[in-house]
Amino acid sequence: MTIDTLQWWETAVIYQIYPRSFQDSNGDGIGDLPGITSRLPYIAELGVDAIWISPFFKSPQKDFGYDVSDYCDVNPEYGTLKDFDKLLAESHKLGLKVMVDIVPAHCSEEHVWFNESRQSRHNNKADWFHWVEPKSDGSPPTNWLSFFGGPAWSWEPRRQQYYLHNFLSSQPNLNHANPAVREALMDVARFWFDRGVDGFRLDAVHTINADVAPYQNNQANPKFVPGPLPQQQQPFFRQLHDSAQLNQPAIQAFSESFRSVADSYSDRYLMGELHGDDPIKASQTFTAPGRLHATYNFNLLSWDGLNVEGLKKAITKAIDAFNGTGRLSFAFSNHDVPRSATRQLAPLGLTAEQQPALQLLLLKLETCLIGSACIYQGEELALQDSQDIPVELMQDPWGIEFAPVFSGRDTCRTPMVWNRVASNGGFSNANQTWLPVNQDHLHRAGLDEAAREGSVYNEFAAFLKWRKEQPAIMSSNKMSELTGDNKTLVFERIAEQQTLRCTFDFETLTATFEEV
């Protein structure tokens, strides 16, 4: 059967690589670009369409690459630009598109832009960041809070002003009200597009700040309820943010500028990560004509998981807004939340023994929804989340801030394992890896599972091969409303050539497909 496909990104299955934890090639205990290159056949044989590599740029690694000190070079721990070019070429040979993770909202305090800006109120970069006068009592200008704890403002004695940072104080927010900042980031896009990169995942675009003083206070969140969950225990969630701090309308000047660069090349893709008080509304704004191609959807990334009814509501809300388009990218796991194979067990009333079957079902579900899907490294192996990282070995600044009540993001970032009998599971021959290898993962090591008949890896690979032959999925982004009972999700994917009824049973942990 001949299928008229949409643009590649509208139906893509994208494999996310966290480079620090994927494969170490030089024995320092840290994953790197040559390591990724060596594992590309494993990824290609799975049958995905693209890879997304989390930041590998020069960085002091205080937030492990999301604090960039040079957007156009590689952090020495990960290799060189030559190593990246080789990775890119090998990926393209294997039919894989390559997306890299750009951080447009903030950079590192060690970036030359900030080093110059903080020196005085009168220099070439003086207004490249958000510098604001203190209140009359010397306190910060607004009540804004950082995601990682504490105020979103820090004092700079050289300028006698506060600067904005939505994350760590070492991650100052760029001032997108300044056209020179946007142009500098457009140059970053051109640098990577010129090398042959196929697209960008744009980190936390909702945290770009482009408004100018006077800044307004955030409003209180009337739905905030203190509790043990990480989302609730933080002061950050005591406030509503779209009223002032986040998702500012002025951000869209950046979206439009970046899209103009992408459109000047052939077949490039922009996927923006965002959240907010109303993430669907924000997604519609970011993907309006002339802006980003799609947004990275958080509806299925609830930290404590979702039951079937919760899954149905989350998917329905997104589909109602975007049905008939490829402007969504769904994910069940990433480098910021506990792994779905663990996170989803309790809400669905399942046991650890059912974890592999559940993971395969979740993979099939997200790759049958409209738009693209992002698979996080290890999902194809049904890897469980790591629960036992000692506080003294934790690396995530968010987790360290709230330990031991909250274990942070290290639990989903432990090194990939490839062979159960090799040192460190084949990830590295170092005496110590940057995070400890999860010993339970050795039972589902990547190369071992790829060679084992009936593994989640091979079952999912067979499914992706079948998926590529279905016109209802590959030539259309239309689907029916979701139905089913408290144990099942049912919907139809609809194309001119085919209507495919998809049923996902969370009691038997099976998926069935029927042409109707």
So which residues are the catalytic ones? Answer: 203, 273
d(CA 139, CA 152): 12
Strand duo 153-156 + 161-164: pairing: antiparallel
Cβ atoms of 154 and 148 within 8 Å: the answer is: no
Cβ atoms of 36 and 24 within 8 Å: the answer is: no
Amino acid type, 176? H
Show the beta-strand stretches assigned E in 218-363: 219-220, 239-240, 269-273, 294-296, 328-331
Torsion of CA 395, 396, 399, 401, to 10 degrees: 90
Closest alpha carbon to 376 in 349, 352, 342, 408:
342
d(CA 515, CA 493): 10
d(CA 393, CA 408): 12
Nearest 5°: CA angle at 300, between 299 and 306?
Answer: 115
Strand duo 161-164 + 131-132: pairing: antiparallel
Cβ atoms of 76 and 144 within 8 Å: the answer is: no
> Phi first, then psi: what are they for 515, rounded to 5°?
-75, 130
Query: Which region holds residue 290: left if phi is over 0, alpha if psi is between -120 and 50, else beta?
Result: left
Instruction: Tell me how far apart the 2 most distant CA atoms of the chain are, in Å.
Output: 72
Query: Which region holds residue 70: left if phi is over 0, alpha if psi is between -120 and 50, else beta?
Result: beta
**Cis link prior to 214 (omega < 30° from 0)?**
yes
H-helix segments, 19-173: 33-38, 40-46, 81-93, 112-117
Cβ atoms of 364 and 47 within 8 Å: the answer is: no
Residue indicated by tokens 């090398």: 195
Nearest 5°: CA angle at 99, between 93 and 101?
Answer: 145
Strand duo 199-202 + 478-479: pairing: unpaired
H-helix segments, 265-337: 279-286, 308-322
